[in-house]
Amino acid sequence: MRILVTGAAGFIGSCYVRSLLTGAHPGCEDVHVTVLDKLTYAGNPENLWPVAGNPRHTFVRGDVTDGELLAGLVPGHDVVVNFAAETHVDRSITGAGAFVTTNVLGTQRLLQAALEAGVRTFVHVSTDEVYGSVAEGSWDEDAPLEPNSPYAASKAGADLLCRAYHRTYGLDVRVTRCSNNYGPYQYPEKVIPLFVTNLIDGLPVPLYGDGRNVREWLHVDDHCRAVQLVVDKGAAGEVYNVGGGVELTNLELTERLLATFGAGWEMVERVADRPGHDLRYSVDSGKIRAIGYEPRVDFDEGLEGVVRWYRDNEAWWRPLKERAARRTARPEETGGGR
């Protein structure tokens, strides 16, 4: 079987490819993986170094919006798994354009290329953020899409295109909507790696607003198992929520990270809340559990492992933080800042 994985130089896609090529998914021992990634600021070839020499792995640098490239690349693949996206909510607030281009147009171009190439199954990796905030209970897959950030809106647009390509053209498209992931190799602008790397350096951590926002956490390994389960056992045209089951306010998460470092609340710097900041996300994972999904990684152990990984892999994250700091100091390098 040949699988095309887009965005696999990023956090979750690279975990999926490493797991595919290191025997984590029974039945995938002979799979050949093509990675397509643009290598934006969030894409890092080092994330794939552990499998770089694997003969069942090919890396292609390119853009999912490049229809000509896709027309040449997609044929011959049985499955497409689409992780490629602009993913940072804060960046979507200061510059939504790139999110619409990659997340909406890129997904449509990929769907079209998959349709024309006769790809058997297309799995689109989406997010719980498309549902918007839920005060109580959990969203199931039939809940309305009420995204509140440009990031979430662009992901919702992509989800609807997936639905349309299934309904209109009969393409076997399956969508996953996962809660917040944590794990190694996550770019240090996201809350857990940002806080961990700041605390390693003895720097304060920036906490949004009153810190009462609730997120549901899932280890990236469990997310990748869920994606493979949907490839293997999902049904065409269906959406699957993937929840972690561990709900924490940002205050609680911060408390745990501070405790890990033996630090106190004096290390917390309160910052103005993010505009449109959703109070709570929570998904009902009953549908994917019915086909065999069960998260395995205990949150406390998983978080401890992540802290250890960032302590042990400073050479991976420090250059990324230094580069980001230089960009902030010279905004003209990013065209005025993303």
Which member of 5, 42, 70, 246 binds ligand NAD (CB under 6 A)? 42
Query: How many residues contact ligand NAD, by CB under 6 A?
Result: 30
Regarding 105 and contact with ligand NAD (CB under 6 A), the answer is no
Regarding 253 and contact with ligand NAD (CB under 6 A), the answer is no
Residue nearest to ligand NAD (CB): 10
Regarding 84 and contact with ligand NAD (CB under 6 A), the answer is yes
Tokens at 273, concatenated: 């809340």
Tell the smallest beta-carbon distance from residue 107 to ligand NAD (Å).
9
Active-site hit among 37, 63, 86, 129: 129
Q: Residues 116 to 175: which contact ligand NAD by CB under 6 A?
A: 125, 127, 155
Annotated catalytic, 185? no
Annotated catalytic, 140? no
Of residues 127 and 138, the one with the C-beta less far from ligand NAD: 127
Contacts of 2 (CB under 8 A, 6+ apart): 31, 32, 33, 34, 76, 77, 78, 79
Q: What span, in angstroms and rounded, lies between the C-alpha atoms of 94 and 338? A: 6
H helices within the chain, ranges in order? 11-21, 67-73, 89-94, 97-99, 107-117, 150-169, 191-200, 220-233, 250-260, 286-289, 299-312, 314-329
Regarding 113 and contact with ligand NAD (CB under 6 A), the answer is no
Active-site hit among 131, 151, 165, 187: 151
Regarding 83 and contact with ligand NAD (CB under 6 A), the answer is yes
Q: What span, in angstroms and rounded, lies between the C-alpha atoms of 145 and 157? A: 10
User: Bridge partners of 283?
Assistant: 139
Closest CA to 81 of 19, 144, 131, 167: 19
Closest CA to 6 of 42, 50, 53: 42
Q: 259-267 — which CB contacts under 8 Å span 24+ positions?
A: 260/199, 260/303, 260/304, 260/307, 261/199, 261/200, 263/199, 267/199, 267/204, 267/205
Per the document, the length of the chain is 338
Tell the smallest beta-carbon distance from residue 101 to ligand NAD (Å).
7
Regarding 65 and contact with ligand NAD (CB under 6 A), the answer is yes
Regarding 85 and contact with ligand NAD (CB under 6 A), the answer is yes
Which member of 38, 109, 166, 219 binds ligand NAD (CB under 6 A)? 38
Annotated catalytic, 189? no
Q: Residues 5 to 24: which contact ligand NAD by CB under 6 A?
A: 6-7, 9-13
Q: How distant, in Å, are the alpha carbons of 113, 209, 298, 311 from that of 196?
A: 40, 19, 19, 9
Of residues 69 and 267, the one with the C-beta less far from ligand NAD: 69
Regarding 250 and contact with ligand NAD (CB under 6 A), the answer is no
Catalytic residues: 128-129, 151
| Binding stretches for ligand NAD (CB under 6 A) | 6-7, 9-13, 37-40, 42-43, 63-65, 83-87, 102, 106, 125, 127, 155, 178, 180-181, 187
